[in-house]
Amino acid sequence: MTTTAATTTAQNGRVQLGSTDANVPLLSIEAANELDELIEGRATTLESVARLAEVLKQSFQLDPSEARRSFVDSGTVAVFSQAIDESSSGNSVSTMQELVQQATEIVKTLETATGGPTQELEKLRDFCIALANASTAYQQSIFEMRPSDPLRS
């Protein structure tokens, strides 16, 4: 049985990693599951992988005057950098440029994930799991910072 992550739009109609109303954790886990199915040689549609690639793409903005990519908001930076740190094996990201470069590479890999070397698919799957963990932690921290409703006890 397959469940589907319903992602909603954030500001300007874009779903972002730092959005607390988007279900990025579920989408990331579904993408990891699809990649695992692919690694194991079982048929899969990779729909969640494609949707996650789109969410990641929408988490950037391209400044045409400078031809540079940047993250849309600080929540996106926090979520993505935590996922990169958790999933990478000793590769530390120390600058925003390196983070954006990693993000661009991951999006390209997600968009073309129809097979290929098992090791690359495993890295991508591990990133999706780390992204689910990071976005869950971020959403929880935002939820905990919200003032409680004085009418509820």
Blockwise average pLDDT, block size 10, the chain, 153 residues:
38 47 85 94 90 86 56 78 81 80 87 85 94 86 67 61
Task: Flag whether 35 is in a domain.
Answer: yes
Strand-pair partners of 61: 70
The structure's pTM equals 0.75
52: in domain: yes
Domain-embedded: residue 65: yes
pLDDT value of residue 7: 36
pLDDT recorded at residue 48: 94
Question: How far is the CA of 96 from the CAs of 32, 101, 102, 116, in angstroms?
Answer: 26, 9, 10, 29
Give the range of the structural domain holding residue 126, as residue numbers without chain letter: 11-142
User: Is 3 inside a domain boundary?
Assistant: no
Q: Which residues pair with 70 in a beta bridge?
A: 61
For helices 47-58 and 24-39, angle between their N-to-C axes, nearest 10 degrees = 130
**Residue-wise DSSP of 104-147:** HHHHHHHHT-SS--HHHHHHHHHHHHHHHHHHHHHHHHHHHHSP
- Distances from the Cα of 138 to the Cα of 22, 24, 51, 88, 147, angstroms: 12, 11, 20, 19, 16
For residue 33, what pLDDT is reported? 96
Domain-located, residue 149: no
As for how many domains the chain has, the answer is 1
Domain presence at residue 153: no
Note whether residue 2 is domain-resident. no
